[in-house]
Amino acid sequence: MPISHVFLRAGKPEAYRKAILDGLGRALSDALGVSEDNRFMTLSEHEPANFRHGNAYGVKRSDDVVYIRITVFDTRSAQQKQALFRRLAELLAESPGLRGEDLFVNIVDSPKENWSVGHGLAQFA
């Protein structure tokens, strides 16, 4: 039950943004077994004045950097997360051509009781 947020600099064409979301969905499926009907994703674009990046940790990022935050149940293993990082980098390199240096991913673990997916209920508690 992931919920994902993609952040990027404004100005990319619709096909580019679609490729990011499609690649993210496929990576979630391939690495974590997330079904197609269980995709909850948003993408927000930010004007250059509101979007910054650095080259920390020995990674030379460009203005094309994409930040992805994925919140998941706290049941995912380190191996599953590593597989997701790898698969996401592979898929986004294929389409839309994102450099691995420009992919910044953060996974947030959340206990199941912290989720309500509708009707004001804690379906997983």
Which tens digit of pLDDT belongs to each residue from 58-68?
A: 999 999 999 99
| The CATH number fitting domain 3-54+64-114, selected from 3.30.420.40, 2.60.120.890, 2.60.40.10, 3.30.429.10 | 3.30.429.10
- pLDDT greater than 80 at residue 1: no
What is the helix, strand, coil percentage profile of the chain, to 5?
A: 40, 25, 35
If DSSP codes are grouped into helix, strand and coil, which group holds residue 93? helix
Q: Alpha-carbon dihedral of residues 112, 114, 118, 121, nearest 10 degrees?
A: 90
Residue type at 84? L
Find the Cα–Cα–Cα–Cα dihedral 91, 37, 45, 20, rounded to 10°: 10
pLDDT, tens only, 74-102:
999 999 999 999 999 999 999 999 999 99
Query: In this structure, are residues 96 and 20 in contact, taking their beta carbons and an 8 Å threshold?
Result: yes
Give the mean pLDDT of 44-73.
97
Q: Is the entire prediction scored with pTM above 0.85?
A: yes
